Amino acid sequence: MELTLFHKNGSIGGDFLAKWLDSNVVVKLAIPDAASTSFQSEVRLWQQLRHPNVLKMYGACDAGSHLKFFVCEYASNGSLLDHVNSSSVETRTMWKYLYEAALGLEYLHERGIVHAELRCSNILIGSDGTAKLANFRLSGLRSSARTRVTAGSVYWQSPEVMSGYPPSCESDVYSLGMCILEAATGKMPLDTLNGSDCLPSLHANYCGV
């Protein structure tokens, strides 16, 4: 396998664009200290998913505590966020991408999998122009314990998740709604709010919760 490009990805570890059997693929590095049992559970979960609107995984490797990675489909047309920021994308095409993202989300939910990190940057566009959900790492394996919201995703999260409750199918639907808002306006949801410490309460007040 020939690695040709590195892209830092804070939610996982990093991405390499690679050549495998004459095809472009992405090598996603897992967090270095990720437990082998959690990594293997994630591999088994991802291997079971087969849907045109969910990013495919081709394989994985666990070489010990310092090297774990996935080999997955390369979405050559960037993310939905890239298209939101582009003035050349037609409104009809944008709605097509969002509809396909909803189909992918429905597929995950039917299998009891919660994405939990849904935003435009995690909706990728394949070479065939199809939207694909990505970066749903361990989302189907979360316990019922309260889950900490990452700083980069608070603007897309539902009020109950930001209050400390675990992500759910319902909160995913809320996040999809925020993606629709972002695509329609060209702006990050609730972009006038500042300060991650006070954002949960501001967000709850904004939504009338």
Greatest mean pLDDT among 9-23, 76-90, 131-145, 147-161: 76-90
For 68, 126, 173, 181, 198, the CA distances from 189, given in Å and listed in that order, are 34, 25, 15, 7, 16
State which amino acid sits at residue 197: D
Structure tokens at 146: 């309260």
**Calpha distance 29→66 (Å, rounded):** 10
Residues 74, 25: contact at Cβ < 8 Å?
Answer: yes
Q: In this model, does residue 16 exceed pLDDT 80? A: yes
Residues 42, 57: contact at Cβ < 8 Å?
Answer: no
**Calpha distance 159→71 (Å, rounded):** 34
Domains of the chain: 2-73 (3.30.200.20), 78-192 (1.10.510.10)
CA triplet 49, 137, 190: central angle to 5 degrees?
Answer: 115
Average pLDDT over the chain, rounded to an integer: 79
Least confident of 16-20, 67-71, 179-183, 195-199: 195-199
pTM: 0.81
Residues 26, 16: contact at Cβ < 8 Å?
Answer: yes
pLDDT-based confidence at 180, cuts 50/70/90?
Answer: very high
